[in-house]
Structure 1
Amino acid sequence: MSPLQSAKFWLIQHVGLAKDALHIYVGLTLFLGAALAFRWPLRSWKPLAVVFAAALLGEAWDLRDSLIYRTRIDLWGNWHDIWNTMFWPTMLLLLARTTGIFATSANTRRSG
């Protein structure tokens, strides 16, 4: 078992969340963390690109592990994981772009 798979199983056992929920939490953490760390607005494509890159890398690693350890390849499962990881960050980006819900007072003063 690869270090990534070991880390995933450890998290599942010790955090008390299902694997699908972990994908959601990782996606949100990466999205908001990248936006905060790099001072990117939530309406920017950049935080979403960070999440997408991480989701693709994680699933590529899963596929690699399946080949190396001769376990079943589940492409539908890989797609499901990417979907779970991307859904809420994408919704936050759309909300930031189409509503004023994440507008700061400085942005509100400039546009008003």
Structure 2
Amino acid sequence: MDWFEIKNWLELSTGLARDSLHVYAGVGVQLFVALILRRSLASPVPWLFVVFAAFANEFYDYSVVQAPQNREPVYFDEAVSDIWNTLLLPTLFLVIARFRPNWLTGSVAKNRKPVSADGDRQSS
């Protein structure tokens, strides 16, 4: 069973569209690599694995499909959509983990004062 058949089997057995599978695969690869390499999501390494996997998958799809000349623009649009779907959430996780990690942990910066329900800073 080759990679194309595995993807078809996953689509049929899960009932999910390929676009959804790209989203789940991107997040899954990022989390799996971060776990195996013991890296934070703030590290670009797990994200780079997702980038590599997305482009390798599209290269494989293109080489298997062997699109005729009149289908190439359509295939290119599908490839861009697949890469977009695969990279969107992992990129968002990388950016948040690097620049706003408190969004993921729920911790508040030590020098910030709590905000009241009406939006005013409370004095301590």
Normalising by structure 1, we get a TM-score of: 0.83
Q: Per-residue displacement from partner, 1:71-101 (whole Å, max 9, x unpaired)? A: 9431110011001000000000111012123
1:47-58 matched pairs, under 5 angstroms: 47-58=46-57
User: Which residue is 1:75 aligned to?
Assistant: 76
Of Structure 1 and Structure 2, the greater helix share is in 1
- How far 1:41 sits from its partner (Å)? 1.0
SS in 1 for 2:103: coil
Matches within 5 A, 1:13-28: 13-28=12-27
Task: Check if 1:101 corresponds to 2:103.
Answer: yes
Deviations 1:44-84 (A, max 9, x none): 110100000000000000110122x7594311100110010
Runs of 5+ unmatched residues, structure 1 = none
CA distance in 1, matches of 2:91, 2:52: 14
Mapped to 2, the partners of 1:22 and 1:33 lie a distance apart of 16
Deviates more, 1:93-102 or 1:48-57: 93-102
Farther-moved stretch of structure 1 (48-57 vs 6-15): 6-15
- Note the residue ranges of structure 2 that are not aligned, 5 or more in a row: 110-124
Q: Distance in 2 between matches of 1:29 and 1:51?
A: 9
Task: Determine the C-alpha separation between the residues in 2 that align with 1:75 and 1:4.
Answer: 20
The equivalent residue for 2:85 is: 84
Q: Are residues 1:40 and 2:31 paired?
A: no
CA distance in 2, matches of 1:70, 1:33: 36
Give the TM-score taking structure 2 as reference length.
Answer: 0.75
Higher relative contact order (CA 8 A, sep 6+): 1
| Cα distance in 1 between the residues matched to 2:82 and 2:3 | 15
Q: How many residues align?
A: 105
CA RMSD of aligned residues (A): 2.4
Name which one, 1 or 2, has greater alpha-carbon Rg.
2
Q: Which residue of 1 aligns with 2:2?
A: 3
